[in-house]
Structure 1
Amino acid sequence: MDPGRARRRRIWRRFTASLLIAIAIVPVSLVLLYRVLPPPATPLMILRLVEGHGWSRDWVGWDSIDPAIMRAVIAAEDAKFCQHHGFDWAAIDDAIEANEDGRRVRGGSTISQQTAKNVFLWPGRSWLRKGLEAYLTVLIEALWSKRRILEVYLNSVEFGPGVYGVEAAARFHFNKSAADLTTHEAALLAAVLPNPIRFSASRPSGYINRYASRIQGRMGGIGKADMPPCQ
C-alpha cells in the first residue's frame, strides 16, 4: 500500500475516534456540571440576542418558584412528566399518526426532551439534532432528578421575545415575582409556550384565554394545590 495513503487512513481513524470520544464525553461533562450549576446561556438565547430581541433572564431556585407555574407547565406540556423516564411513547405515537393523517397536532416532546434541546442544542430540525436530543434526554433523566429537570426548564424556556425563565416572565408580564403568581397567571404563561413570539401572556388573545382556562382545569390532576409536583 502506498505509504501516503496508509498515513492518511491512520489520521482519519484517529480523527474519527477523537470525534466519537468528544461526542460521548462533552455532553456528559456538561450534564454533570449543570446538575449543580445554572446553565449560563442557551443557543436560542444567543440567537435571539443576535436577532435583536434582547436578553432578560433571572435564575431563581426551586423554592422561589410558585408551585402553580410548575403544575401549569406540566399540565400544558407533559402531563406524565412525573411518571415517565424521558419519553412519552403514547404521545409520540399519537403525534406520528396525526402527522401521517395530515392533522395539525403538537409534538410529543416531553419536558425532559425540551430541556435537553433548549439548554444544549441549536434551533432547527434534523436527524442529527433529534439523535443528540434523545441522547441528552437519556443523560439528564439518568443524572438529574425530576426536580432539577423542571427547575432548569422553568429557568431556561422562552416566554416572550428575549424573555427567558419564569422569574423574568413573571416580572415582564405581571410585574411580580415568580413566587407570587396566581393560578390564572401561571396558566397564561404556560399557554404561550408553544409560540411565545406570537402570543403574549399579559395581552392574551381569545385563544390564549381559552387555552389557559383548559390548562387550569387540567392542573387539578397534577399533584396537590400549593405543593410542588413530583414529590
Structure 2
Amino acid sequence: METDKPTRSRHPIRRFFFWWFKLVLFLVVITELAAVAFTWITPPRTAFMLESGEPTTYQFVSIDHISRFVLASAIAHEDEQLGTRRGAFDIKDFNARVDAYLNGKPDPSGSTIPQQLVKNIFLWPDQSALRKALEAGLSTEFAYTLTPKRVLELYLNYAQFGPKLYGICAATWYYFGEPPWHVSEYQAAQLMGTLPLPSLVQRAKGGGFLLDNTAQSGWAIDYIKGASNVWVPMQIKNMGGWQAVVATIGVTDKASDHAATQDQPDACSTMPQSVADRLKQEAANG
C-alpha cells in the first residue's frame, strides 16, 4: 500500500512571513528591553563615540546639575515639542522627511531629540533608508518608554559639542572652564550652535569659541553666532521664557536647588580628567 511521503509546506510565502514576523518580534522585544534599561543606566560610550575613536572627552552629569538655561536652549533649538508631543516625532513631519528623501530633496524638518538620541547611542552617521528606518523604530520605543526629562538628560550627555567632545559636562568645562550648573544663558545658546557641525568647532586659546576667520569653517561660525544671538533667544521668548520651556518636560526647579549634592560624582563640579588631559595636550601643541 502506498503511503504519503512528507512534503515541504505548500505555502512558502506564508512560511516566509512567519519567520519575518518572529524576527521582527524578537527585535522589538530586545530594543524595548534596551529602552527600559536606559531608564536607569547611562553607558560611558555610544556607537558614535566608538566610531570616532579614542581619546574621547566625556563625563556623565545628572540633569539636576545642568543649568536650566541649557535645558531650555536644547529644547528651543532642537525639539520644541519634546515634552508635549506623543511619540518620537509628528507623523506629518516624518512623512514629509520620507518624501524628501525619496525625491532627493533637502530634509524639511530635521530629527527630533529622541531620534538624535537613538542615532547617537546605537546607529551610524550615514543617511541610508535602513538607518532612518531603525532610527524611527528605536526612537518611538524610547519616547514611549522614557520620560521627556530622561530623554533630554541622555541627549545632553551624549550629544557631540566638538571633535571627539561629548556631553554637556565635558563641553562646559572645555569651552568655559565652568561646571554645567554654572552656565549662562548666552553660553547655553552658544553650545546649541555647535550641534549641527561639531567636528568643525574650535576652542579659542583663552576659552570660548574661535569665531574669527581662522576657524575651520564659516558654517560653524554662522551657526554659533546665529544660535546665540538670534535663534535660541527668539524661540525661548516665543515659548514663554526659559521657565515655561523647561516646565514642558516636568522641570520646575533650578540647578541651584541641588547645591547640597554638588559634591557628588554626577554633579560634574570639577573638571573631568579627560578635559584636563585634552587642554594640556592642546597647550603643548601650541
Cα contact 2:58–2:166 (8 A) shared by 1: yes
What amino acid maps onto 1:20 in structure 2? V
Counterpart position of 1:216 = 233
Cα deviation per residue 1:75-96 (whole Å; 9 max; x = unaligned)? 1111222221211345556667
Shift of 1:213: 1.1
Residue in 2 that maps onto 1:80: 81
Instruction: Give the drift of 1:129.
Output: 1.3
Distance 1:127 1:134 in 2: 11
What letter is aligned with 1:23?
A: L
Q: Give the total of aligned pairs.
A: 225
1:170 aligns with 2:172: yes
5 Å-filtered alignment, 1:1-231, equals: 19-49=23-53, 54-85=55-86, 86-89=88-91, 91-92=93-94, 107-200=109-202, 202-204=209-211, 206-207=221-222, 208-214=224-230, 215-222=232-239, 224-225=241-242, 228-230=246-248, 231=250
Secondary structure of 2:89's counterpart equals coil
* 2:196 match: secondary structure: coil
- 8 Å contact 1:88–1:109 — kept in the other structure? no
Per-residue CA deviation, residues 24-55 of structure 1 (Å, 9 max, x unaligned), is 22211111111111133111100111xx5x21
Query: Tell me, what secondary structure is at the counterpart of 1:56?
Result: coil
With over 3 angstroms needed to count, the CA separation of the structure-2 counterparts of 1:134 and 1:202, relative to structure 1, is same
- Cα RMSD (Å): 3.3
Q: Are the counterparts in 2 of residues 62 and 151 from structure 1 also a CA contact under 8 Å?
A: yes
Higher mean C-alpha deviation, range 154-163 or range 74-83: 74-83
Q: Distance in 1 between matches of 2:240 and 2:118?
A: 24
Compare 54-63 and 78-87 and name the one that shifted more: 78-87
Contact 2:193 2:226 (C-alpha < 8 Å) held by counterparts: no
Unmatched tracts of structure 1, length 5 or more: none
Could you report, residue by residue, the CA deviation over 1:173-215 in whole angstroms, capped at 9, with x for unpaired residues? 1111111100110000001111111134622355221332121
> Which has the higher Rg, Structure 1 or Structure 2?
2
CA distance in 2, matches of 1:17, 1:218: 44
8 Å CA contact 2:100, 2:108 repeated in 1:
no
Query: Does structure 2 conserve the Cα–Cα contact (< 8 Å) formed by 1:223 and 1:229?
Result: no
- TM-score, normalized by length of structure 2? 0.67
In structure 2, list runs of 5 or more residues that go unmatched: 203-207, 213-220, 251-286
Task: For residue 242 of structure 2, give the secondary structure of its aligned residue in structure 1.
Answer: coil
Alignment partner of 2:161: what SS? strand
Give the TM-score taking structure 1 as reference length: 0.82
Counterparts of 2:106 and 2:25 in 1: how far apart (Å)? 40
Compared CA separation, residues 203 and 92, structure 1 to 2 (3 A): farther
> What percent of counterpart residues are identical?
27
Letter in 2 for 1:148: R
Displacement of 1:74 after TM fit? 1.3
Describe the shift of the 1:131–1:91 C-alpha distance in structure 2 as closer, same or farther (beyond 3 A).
Answer: closer
